[in-house]
Structure 1
Amino acid sequence: MRDMAGNNEHPILEGILGEARAEAERIRSEAAQKAAGLKESTDSQCRRILAEARERAESQKQTMLRSEETSVAAELRRIELRAREKLNEELLAKLRDRLLKLQQSPAYREICRDLIVEAAAGIGTPKVLVCVSSPESLGSRGKSGIDRGLLSEAQELLARKGLQVELELAEDESLRDPGIVCRDPAGRLVFDNRFEARMRRMRRELVRIIAEEIGTEDGKAT
């Protein structure tokens, strides 16, 4: 009986073991397939993540480069503006010095006559006072060269323009700068035609002319 049992158990055991080995092989095969699929999926995901990281890095690099270029351009613009402002001030200062020196020029008297005509026409009243700072200017000639003879010349020029204006000298000790200041008798209208005042009024135009002469981009006043 024992031998029969032993003989009967051997084929059964072998069958069970065979099935176990087959199942194990199937499991190993499925596991290998899953591992291969997982590896491929992981590799693909890693490649995708790496590609996205590279794209982000390139995008960030380009953004940084654009930002840096913008910053450099802005700084260059600021440097250019400062240089232009400095140049404008230097040229305007030279122009101011030249204008001040005109007071010692023989042409100063004629310049004052034309400034009186401009100021009187601008005020537009029948009588205009021409302010002078030097007491002796109220006499025959005076140091400034502004005298009644000069006023007569100015009145004649005004008449040629169709303007009948009576000009009269008026002392004003507050006036020291070269040029002319005119006012109406009531003192309500004042036309400051001194060189400094004219430069202030003409500053924008002067800066534009400077810009055109030196070839800068624009002539904006500073």
Structure 2
Amino acid sequence: MARRQRESTATPEDDKSLVNAILHDAEEEARRIAEKAEKQRKQKLETAAATEEHILEEARKTAERQIDALKKAFDSSTTVALRRIKLNSEERIYSYVLERVREKIKSLISAKNYREILTQWIAEAAIGLGTEKCLVNASETEKKLIGDKVLKTAEDIVLNISNRQVEISISPEEPVFGQGVVIKDPAGRLSFDNRVETRIERYQDKIRKLIYKQFIEE
């Protein structure tokens, strides 16, 4: 015997409420999902922003270090370059002035008072040598200018300055090369070179200071 199917007692209003409840739950779930997604998106953005800021900060620090290193390297190389330029300039000035000095001294050979200059050089060399007797030699041109008067005057200068009697004679040897005089003892063991180039070398510190003060010092 077939059972009689139970008839539903639900009304259309009940169905509508059920649908609304389902829709409401769905909307709430969608809202929660959306909020969660938005929260995650913001967190990712914040993390990305923080990461980007960190990267930018590190890049800034790295750039500053590189710029500082480049600046130091530039300052150092510039200082060295400027010092080199200054030194080169000083050396050029020094060489130029010395060359003019050599030319000037060389031109004095034809001057009327050159015998007096030779006399002073001979006396200076004789004092430096320190022997009782000495022989003076010079270039061929200058040797012709050294007579008895020059030698006697040089002896008097030595006596006045060092209170020492000295006998100076002309050397029988061949003339020497270069401007100025060379003094030797008769045995040839001792000598005093008082030629122009040797004098420049001997007094180069004083000459350099004079040139620096006159032409370079600001």
Q: What TM-score do the two structures reach when normalised by structure 1?
A: 0.76
Q: Decide which of 79, 88, 91 is 2:85's aligned counterpart.
A: 79
How far apart in 2 are the matches of 1:19 and 1:2?
Answer: 30
Residues 1:38 and 2:39 aligned together: no
Shift of 1:17: 9.4
Partner residue, 2:157: 157
Aligned length: 209
Unaligned runs of 5+ in 1: 218-222
Shift of 1:125: 1.5
Judged with a 3 Å threshold, the aligned counterparts in structure 2 of structure 1 residues 171 and 45 are, in CA distance, closer, same or farther, namely: same
Shift of 1:182: 0.1
- After TM superposition, the structure 1 = structure 2 runs for residues 61-140 of structure 1, keeping only pairs within 5 Å, are 61-132=67-138, 134=140
Could you say what secondary structure the match of 2:171 adopts? strand
**Over residues 134-181 of structure 1, what are the superposed CA-to-partner deviations in whole Å (9 max), with x where a residue is unaligned?**
5xx9xxxx9632122222222122222211222222123241433111
Judged with a 3 Å threshold, the aligned counterparts in structure 2 of structure 1 residues 33 and 133 are, in CA distance, closer, same or farther, namely: closer
Mean Cα displacement is larger for which, 154-163 or 96-105? 154-163
Shift of 1:93: 0.6
**Over residues 100-135 of structure 1, what are the superposed CA-to-partner deviations in whole Å (9 max), with x where a residue is unaligned?**
11111121111111111111111112221112455x
Partner residue, 2:168: 167
Residues 1:179 and 2:185 aligned together: no
Unaligned runs of 5+ in 2: none
Judged with a 3 Å threshold, the aligned counterparts in structure 2 of structure 1 residues 152 and 25 are, in CA distance, closer, same or farther, namely: same
Mean Cα displacement is larger for which, 125-134 or 195-204? 125-134
Partner residue, 1:212: 213
Partner residue, 1:220: none
Measured on the aligned residues, the alpha-carbon RMSD in Å equals 3.2
Partner residue, 1:193: 194
Look up the equivalent residue of 2:196 and give its one-letter code.
F
How far apart in 2 are the matches of 1:67 and 1:163?
Answer: 63
State the percentage of identical aligned residues.
33
How far apart in 1 are the matches of 2:155 and 2:117?
Answer: 15
Larger radius of gyration: 2
Judged with a 3 Å threshold, the aligned counterparts in structure 2 of structure 1 residues 17 and 168 are, in CA distance, closer, same or farther, namely: same
Look up the equivalent residue of 1:148 and give its one-letter code.
D
Judged with a 3 Å threshold, the aligned counterparts in structure 2 of structure 1 residues 2 and 209 are, in CA distance, closer, same or farther, namely: farther
Judged with a 3 Å threshold, the aligned counterparts in structure 2 of structure 1 residues 133 and 40 are, in CA distance, closer, same or farther, namely: closer
Partner residue, 1:203: 204
How far apart in 2 are the matches of 1:148 and 1:24?
Answer: 130
Judged with a 3 Å threshold, the aligned counterparts in structure 2 of structure 1 residues 116 and 3 are, in CA distance, closer, same or farther, namely: farther
How far apart in 2 are the matches of 1:35 and 1:120?
Answer: 103
Q: What TM-score do the two structures reach when normalised by structure 2?
A: 0.77
Judged with a 3 Å threshold, the aligned counterparts in structure 2 of structure 1 residues 96 and 132 are, in CA distance, closer, same or farther, namely: closer
How far apart in 2 are the matches of 1:184 and 1:24?
Answer: 122
How far apart in 2 are the matches of 1:3 and 1:198?
Answer: 141
Look up the equivalent residue of 2:109 and give its one-letter code.
Q
Q: Is the 8 A contact 2:185 2:191 kept in 1?
A: yes
Shift of 1:33: 2.2
